[in-house]
Structure 1
Amino acid sequence: MTRSSAEALLEPHIPIQRGSRRPHLVEETGAATTTRRVPGLAGGQRILVVDSDADGAQSLVCRLRRHGHEARSVERGSVALHAYEDVDLVLLDLELPDLDGLEVCRAIRSVSSVPVIVVTARGSELDCVLGLQAGADDYVVKPYGFRELMARIEAVMRRAQVQPPAAKEISHGPLRIDVNSREVSLDGRRINLTRKEFDLLHLLASHPDTVISRKRLLQQVWGDSWSRRTVDTHVSSLRSKLGGSGWVVTVRGVGFKLGNG
């Protein structure tokens, strides 16, 4: 069984030859462009534009900068999966040269709460549903009006402002999970986990009183591209490394939840 291509990533950014494609934006006419500030948001946001259309992406970056944001662009999904950690918002196209944008969105959402707005030419209802199910906070179809995009950015960032920051360390009895270093210890002893084992434990520990369904685990940890057996195998391995089945409790017919060892 092969890994999801979003896991294999992490390749250096290879610029793509700029070409001529239709513009992303519907130009607003008859009104001067002005900078709007959102109450409660201090200054501009750090925005990452992920789009293989280099000319269109650069045009959007320039307009975002004129509105006070710190914006930059990348053309490949693999590069975005390195760059999103340093930004406040991701504007993500689904048509990328190396990875499908839905896969990129799922990969980001499995480990981060950074807001993601899908900005794409895929305009069907099904595409929108799939984008939101992949973890996007909003969905904008090209071509779009720039003022509409700005309003959606403001709305998404307002919602993000009121959410509590993600915990840097999760403690559950003798179990310690350092989110930044991705290290786990039990009774002071370091537990060496694979990437997916850590993601699985982190998801369960982030919702200690909640039963997480198999479907949700597959979607958030594996991008919904693996089988039911994958969850069972990783749960078994995780239990073995933690020293018993009590840390990952099976709720028959529903899913799993974090136990007490």
Structure 2
Amino acid sequence: MSNAATILVIDDEPQIRKFLRISLSAGGYKVIEAASGEEGLAQAALGKPDLVVLDLGLPDKDGQDVLREIREWSQVPVLVLSVRAGESEKVLALDNGANDYVTKPFGIQEFLARVRVLLRQSARGEAQDATVGVGPLCVDFSYRRVLLDGAEVALTRKEYAVLATLARHLGRVVTQQQLLRDIWGPSHVEDTHYLRVVVGHLRQKLADDPAAPRFIVTEAGVGYRLRDA
């Protein structure tokens, strides 16, 4: 990741834009700003940012609509930064194509860490590696197997499918609905207990403490992500 990455901040609150400009600039990033949805869309097209930080409560149009419009022509990483803390808003944003979601008020160190993760993912490009490693955990897509500390872990078909999906979106939240739709089928998007059971079994087999996870992180009410080491 280059420290010269350009970050577009779309937020109508001047104090938030100033705070982010100072914090991101101190990290070596170039910052461009927009105070409305239309201005943000224009900057996203003309400024060619490496990452977009998007507020949902904009004065001229809803941030969810801005996100959908961006996704019509760009795969630039989008980090939603919003006061809306409801589960439905988070799920909708992720389903609309957001890469991550941070709720205001927020800690700047966590925010910057999430920015770094998204930029690393973007720098890796769209090509999927044959394997994904998170510390001692390795997911081998070619041979459909999982290794922990070099030893193969016996997983059921559903357990492997969930872990492989999280690995293919390393560091990013995958919604419960997406996992259920992709792995169990469209008729099971409300059967969240299926997913909880499988994730519980995965954690047992990976010796992953849900209270202090090394690998699988729960985003409460939204979904799961595989920690990017």
Aligned residue number for residue 133 of structure 1: 95
Amino acid across the alignment from 1:103: D
Choose which of 16, 22, 26 in structure 2 pairs with 1:56.
16
- Structure 1 residues 96-245: aligned runs within 5 Å: 96-164=58-126
Amino acid across the alignment from 1:53: E
Distance 2:92 2:117 in 1: 21
Contact 1:46 1:71 in 2 (8 A): yes
Shift of 1:42: 2.1
Please state if 1:79 is matched with 2:39: yes
Amino acid across the alignment from 2:12: S
Shift of 1:72: 2.1
Distance 1:42 1:97 in 2: 33
Contact 2:3 2:27 in 1 (8 A): no
Shift of 1:144: 0.6
Secondary structure of the residue that 2:58 maps to in structure 1? coil
Secondary structure of the residue that 1:112 maps to in structure 2? coil
TM-score, normalised to structure 1, is: 0.47
Shift of 1:143: 0.5
Aligned residue number for residue 147 of structure 2: none
Shift of 1:160: 1.1
Q: Which runs of 5+ in 1 are unaligned?
A: 1-40, 166-261
Distance 1:132 1:153 in 2: 16
Please report the RMSD computed on the Cα atoms of aligned residues, expressed in angstroms.
1.2
Please state if 1:88 is matched with 2:50: yes
For the pair shown, the structure with the greater C-alpha radius of gyration is 1
Structure 1: 4+ residue segments shifted above 4 A:
none
Q: Percent identity?
A: 37
Distance 1:73 1:107 in 2: 18
Aligned residue number for residue 46 of structure 1: 6
Secondary structure of the residue that 1:118 maps to in structure 2? strand
Amino acid across the alignment from 1:133: D
Shift of 1:110: 1.1
Contact 1:44 1:69 in 2 (8 A): yes
Shift of 1:164: 3.7
Distance 1:150 1:72 in 2: 16
Aligned residue number for residue 206 of structure 2: none
Contact 1:58 1:73 in 2 (8 A): no
Amino acid across the alignment from 1:73: E
Contact 2:77 2:118 in 1 (8 A): yes
Q: Which runs of 5+ in 2 are unaligned?
A: 128-229
Contact 2:5 2:50 in 1 (8 A): yes
- The CA deviation string for residues 35-83 of structure 1, in whole angstroms up to 9 with x for no partner, is xxxxxx1223100100010122112111110110001211000011111
Secondary structure of the residue that 2:44 maps to in structure 1? helix
Secondary structure of the residue that 1:111 maps to in structure 2? coil
Contact 2:17 2:33 in 1 (8 A): yes
Please state if 1:66 is matched with 2:26: yes
Amino acid across the alignment from 2:2: A
Q: Which segment is superposed worse, 94-103 or 68-77?
A: 68-77
Secondary structure of the residue that 2:72 maps to in structure 1? helix
